[in-house]
Amino acid sequence: MKKEIQELVDKGEMLPLMEEFYTIQGEGFYKGTAAYFIRVGGCDVGCHWCDVKESWDAELHPPTETTKIVEKAALHSKTIVVTGGEPLTWDMTALTTQLKEKGLQVHIETSGAYPLTGTWDWICLSPKKMKLPTAEVSAKAHELKVIIFNRDDFKFAEEQAALVNDDCILYMQPEWSKRDKMIPEIVEYVMANPRWKVSLQTHKYLNIP
């Protein structure tokens, strides 16, 4: 990458844009809501069950001017979801400042593994065992969404729930390939521990992005 472009990426004035699309939010608190997704490339957290592994290598995704990303997003929706990859790999200040200047509601989906940058109306924290979230992201998260792949993840979920603020909404979401096995266990767990809620990847049932 040319030095000048790398400097702009480092400042967040350009971002490795993987894809952008208008769809229905499928998960968590805002499920069912029309939203415009900005998927930023780059992630070294390395979840073996990640369903967008092609997002991991930022080099595969062209550095795109943040102003252009914002202009396009504003045409589609008032609700913008920044996801990845791991968006906090990059400085989100420029992107979120420009989105907020257009009066948009700005959400992030993050593992929380990197320092929190940007201004967010909604932070969905989905922590991963391989690279735990920072204390700041845990403290500021609006929803905690723990992916349940096996029974060990119930313990991990409780450990992470102890780190978020009292108003944070707690979700358990079955990992898609294990849903038939884990959904009954999640249902049983949530009924026994009703401070938790069940989240499903409803966009996959709807067959939309």
Residue 127 labeled ligand binder: yes
Is the CB of residue 197 less than 8 Å from the CB of residue 171?
yes
Would you give the distance in Å from CA 110 to the centre of its chain? 4
32 assigned ligand-binding residue: no
120 marked among binding-site residues: no
Confirm or deny that 180 is annotated as ligand binding.
Answer: no
47 is in an annotated binding site: yes
124 annotated ligand-binding residue: no
* Start-end of H helices in the chain: 3-11, 66-74, 93-101, 135-140, 152-161, 179-192, 202-206
Tokens of 189: 């767990």
Question: 63 among the known binding-site residues?
Answer: no
56 is in an annotated binding site: no
174 is in an annotated binding site: no
In 110-193, alpha helices (H) = 135-140, 152-161, 179-192
Question: Could you tell me if 121 and 107 are in contact, meaning their C-beta atoms sit under 8 angstroms apart?
Answer: yes
Q: Which amino acid is at 177?
A: S
Is 112 annotated as ligand-binding?
no
Find out whether 195 is annotated in a ligand binding site.
no
Residue 57 token pair: 């290598």
Per the annotation, binding residues are 24-26, 39, 43, 47, 49-51, 83, 85, 126-128, 209
Per the annotation, binding residues for S-adenosyl-L-methionine are 49-51, 85, 126-128
Per the annotation, binding residues for [4Fe-4S] cluster are 43, 47, 50
Per the annotation, binding residues for substrate are 24-26, 39, 83, 209
